[in-house]
Structure 1
Amino acid sequence: MHSQDNIPVPVLRLPHFEGLELPAYATDGAAGMDVVSAEDVTIAPGARHAVATGLAMAIPPGFEIQVRPRSGLALKHGISVPNTPGTVDSDYRGEVKIILINHGETAFKVRRGDRIAQLVIAPVVRATWLKVDELDDTERGEGGFGSTGGVVSLGN
């Protein structure tokens, strides 16, 4: 059994990964590991690209790797991960690619070796459906989008 603090993940470095660094935590308190690009690519405004990492991995059963944007790229350049968080399932063995989208106003150049996203390993809890004829009551009830407030300028 492994501690929740140290989950070994077998990683295969593909030929185009050569010379790059494996994903790593930038600080002791970091939740995500920075992953780098294994290719040069320019992403036009509004465009998306699945950026190669040059890595394939065997995530242990009961875990996933979540792919999250890097806050600096999002704030400074409008670069994000459109399916945030993206999920790499434990039974996937192909190359991990990071889907980036350019929400900015200018083309964005990704260079080989650039930190492009964060990888967070997380436990997966699987659900089973329990069919019922009615649900319990809550204070919120069927209140949906925006029903709990939060935008003062809109009077909510």
Structure 2
Amino acid sequence: MPSPLAPIEIALKRLPHGAGLPVPAYATAHAAGMDVVSAEDVTLPPRGRHAIATGFAMAIPQGYEIQVRPRSGLALKHGISLPNTPGTIDADYRGELKIILINHGDEPFTVARGDRIAQLVAAPVQIATFAEVDELDDTVRGAGGFGSTGVAT
């Protein structure tokens, strides 16, 4: 079995309203995402959204991003998700991490300070450039758009 990649270190600055809250952490030995908790009490009405404070800022190493992903239990049981999933936190952002939650359910949903609200996944970033050309190479799919590969002809 190949050995896992070495962990990266992410500097974390706790903000005053984040006092006493746990830092993002892996719940199990093989978890891909770190649980992050709310630093505030919020009630999301049905179809409502809110940028929930986490109580910390961070400095992600250059060449990495933090992806913000929904928690599957909240999605299944309550219809709570992220409207821009996965969200990206760039390495040069130094403000407070806020998690945008949306309530797709039919009932108000209350988030209490300290509740787990999302997962954070550290990921390398591949930088790309664009080369403008007159023609593109041909493929079997060609210009077939949304859903075109799943349709029998």
TMscore range, shorter length: over 0.9
Per-residue CA deviations over 1:67-102 (Å, capped at 9, x if unaligned) read: 000000000000000000001100000000000000
Give the Cα separation in 1 of the matches to 2:145 and 2:37.
Answer: 38
Per-residue CA deviations over 1:103-131 (Å, capped at 9, x if unaligned) read: 00000000000000000000001111111
Using structure 2 for the length normalisation, give the TM-score. 0.95
2:96 corresponds to which letter in structure 1? E
Q: Which residue of 2 is the match for residue 143 of structure 1? A: 144
Alpha-carbon distance, 1:148 to partner: 1.0
Would you identify which runs of 4 or more consecutive aligned residues in structure 1 move more than 6 Å? Answer: none
Q: Which residue of 1 is the match for residue 32 of structure 2? A: 31
Q: What is the CA RMSD across the aligned residues, in angstroms?
A: 1.4
Q: Which residue of 1 is the match for residue 51 of structure 2? A: 50
1:105 corresponds to which letter in structure 2? D
**Aligned ranges 1:11-90 → 2 under 5 Å:** 11-90=12-91
* Percent identity (aligned): 71
* SS of the residue 2:141 aligns to: coil
* SS of the residue 1:148 aligns to: helix
Number of residue pairs aligned between Structure 1 and Structure 2: 150
**Aligned ranges 1:125-144 → 2 under 5 Å:** 125-144=126-145
* SS of the residue 1:11 aligns to: strand
Unmatched runs of 5 consecutive residues or more in structure 1: none
2:41 corresponds to which letter in structure 1? D
Give the Cα separation in 1 of the matches to 2:118 and 2:9.
Answer: 20
